[in-house]
Amino acid sequence: MIELPEKPTYRVSEIAWYFDVSERTVYLWIEHGHLKTVKTPMGQWRITKDSFDKCRFTKKKKAEETLSNLPSS
């Protein structure tokens, strides 16, 4: 099973990639309280690892995919 790397927070694009949804969907999950975030000093949102670990949404990506396909930003 593909997993995100262990780190304290994740970018919106990483969560969108992991669940195979748009970034807009991730922002809606944040807005509706499904994911907890922190704001960086530059004003960007990061999803907390604890929030990601507790997320009840189902992962859609295929097991063959690797983290090398993760979008860079």
Which residue ranges make up each domain of the chain?
9-60
Give Cβ neighbours of residue 51 (< 8 Å, ≥ 6 apart): 35, 36, 37
Q: Give the whole-angstrom CA distance, residue 34 versus residue 62.
A: 23
Chain segment 17-42, per-residue pLDDT in tens? 988 899 999 999 999 999 999 998 99
Average the pLDDT over 56-63 and give the result: 59
How high is the pLDDT of residue 66?
Answer: 47
- 70 — pLDDT class (breaks 50, 70, 90): low
- How many Å apart are CA 57 and CA 73, to the nearest integer? 24
Non-local (6+) Cβ contacts of 15 within 8 A are: 26, 35, 47, 52
